Amino acid sequence: MFYDQEKCGARIRQIRKQNGYTQERLADELNIDRSVLSRIEAGKYACGVDFLAQIATLFGISLDFLVFGKAENKEIAHLKESVTDLIRQLEKFRENI
């Protein structure tokens, strides 16, 4: 598992958009210039751990996901629990048909 600057930048862009942030708004929140954020998202500028930690904290994601694309175990466990619950609901629905 290696740090890929371009993939990390793409994840930052994806998370920013999913949360309804423009580059300008996120840059303002992080106290950086929008052009710097643009270069980070394009994978042309490497950022430090402090910067990545700010983004992770702001959006409630793990550094593992942000840097490596790896989902947290608790996120995976939550997804499995949700799927299991949905399956139970569907089985009950099928029984009532």
CATH number at residue 52: 1.10.260.40
Residue 18 has a pLDDT of 92
Q: Which whole number is the average pLDDT over 75-94?
A: 83
Residue 57 pLDDT grade (very low, low, confident, very high; cuts 50, 70, 90): very high
Q: Is 14 exposed, middle or buried (0-12, 13-18, 19+ CB in 10 A)?
A: exposed
Average pLDDT, the chain: 90
- Residue 48 in domain: yes
As for how many domains the chain has, the answer is 1
- Residue 9 in domain: yes
- Residue 75 in domain: no
- Residue 82 in domain: no
**Model pTM above 0.75:** no
For 9, 17, 19, 50, 54, the CA distances from 47, given in Å and listed in that order, are 9, 19, 21, 8, 11
Domain residues for the domain of 11 are 5-69
> Which residues are CB-contacts of 19 (< 8 A; sequence separation ≥ 6)?
59
Which of the residue ranges 17-31, 43-57, 78-92 would you say has the lowest mean pLDDT? 78-92
Structure tokens at 46: 């490497």
pLDDT at 73 over 60: no
Residue 74 has a pLDDT of 63
Task: Say which DSSP state 60 is in.
Answer: T
